[in-house]
């Protein structure tokens, strides 16, 4: 007996950050925003969480692969290269679940912000995790990246280019 998967997606979360800023500038803005959240001056949103994950991924890649990423479309090939290296490394030496999940969240945040910045869209919460909504298309990025890192064939470069056609 098979059950039908019922995916419920919430309303798009308004983008509150200027993603044309550099990662360093975004990190500073996020720190300022999180101080306001901690002091009750601003509500927390999932956008802040995903940006934090993305910035963590940029740091992780720089420190462990000596690759400097930003959210410009020209970095797509480098980003995909980091996923390829991680997939190969994880196949040879499977990481602990918490490490894998942290990398997955970071790679998801990075890709999502790259889409939002260069193609357009917003984050949204769903009953299966965060998604990027672009012109009515729900891009469940984390699922694709997770499958890829576990040996799947999901091509994030091709997926990005597909999203560009959804105008």
What would the mean pLDDT of 94-106 be, rounded to a whole number? 97
Assess whether pLDDT exceeds 80 at residue 4: no
Q: Please tell me the predicted confidence (pLDDT) of residue 38.
A: 95
Q: Please tell me the predicted confidence (pLDDT) of residue 107.
A: 98
Assess whether pLDDT exceeds 90 at residue 136: no
Mean pLDDT of the chain: 93
48 closest CA partner among 59, 39, 60, 35 = 35
Q: Please tell me the predicted confidence (pLDDT) of residue 157.
A: 94
86 and 65 in contact (C-beta within 8 Å)? no
Confidence of residue 128 (pLDDT cuts 50, 70, 90): confident
Q: Which residues contact 106 (CB under 8 A, 6 or more apart)?
A: 53, 54, 56, 57, 60
Q: Which residues contact 134 (CB under 8 A, 6 or more apart)?
A: 115, 119, 120, 121, 163, 166
Confidence of residue 3 (pLDDT cuts 50, 70, 90): low
What domains appear along the chain, each with residue ranges and CATH number? 23-164 (1.20.120.1090)
Residue with tokens 């998967």: 5
What would the mean pLDDT of 27-48 be, rounded to a whole number? 95
Q: Please tell me the predicted confidence (pLDDT) of residue 127.
A: 84
SS3 122: strand
Assess whether pLDDT exceeds 60 at residue 28: yes
Dihedral angle sign, alpha carbons of residues 42, 47, 53, 59: negative
H/E element holding 60? helix 46-65
Give rounded-to-5 percent helix, strand, coil for the chain.
55, 10, 30
Assess whether pLDDT exceeds 70 at residue 137: yes
Whether this prediction's pTM lies above 0.75 is answered by yes
What would the mean pLDDT of 140-153 be, rounded to a whole number? 93
Assess whether pLDDT exceeds 80 at residue 33: yes
β-pairing, 137-139 vs 122-126, is unpaired
Confidence of residue 2 (pLDDT cuts 50, 70, 90): low
How far apart CA 43 and CA 86 sit, in angstroms, is: 35
Q: Hey, how many other C-beta atoms are within 10 angstroms of the C-beta on 145?
A: 26
Assess whether pLDDT exceeds 70 at residue 167: no
Determine phi and psi for 138, rounding to 5 degrees.
Answer: -90, 115
Assess whether pLDDT exceeds 90 at residue 79: yes
């Amino acid at each position: 007996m098979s059950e039908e998967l019922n995916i419920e997606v919430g309303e798009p979360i308004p983008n509150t950050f200027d993603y044309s800023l550099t990662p360093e500038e975004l990190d500073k803005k996020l720190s300022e925003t999180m101080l306001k959240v901690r002091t009750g001056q601003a509500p927390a949103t999932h956008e802040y969480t995903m940006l934090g994950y993305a910035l963590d991924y940029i740091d992780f890649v720089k420190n462990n692969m000596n690759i400097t990423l930003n959210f410009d479309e020209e970095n797509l090939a480098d980003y995909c290269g980091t996923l390829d290296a991680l997939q190969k490394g994880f196949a040879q030496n499977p990481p602990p679940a918490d490490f894998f999940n942290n990398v997955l969240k970071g790679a998801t945040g990075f890709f999502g912000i790259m889409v939002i910045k260069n193609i357009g869209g917003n984050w949204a919460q769903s009953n299966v995790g965060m998604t990027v909504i672009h012109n009515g298309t729900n891009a469940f990025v984390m699922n694709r990246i997770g499958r890829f890192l576990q040996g799947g064939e999901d091509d994030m470069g091709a997926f990005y280019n597909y999203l560009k056609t959804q105008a």
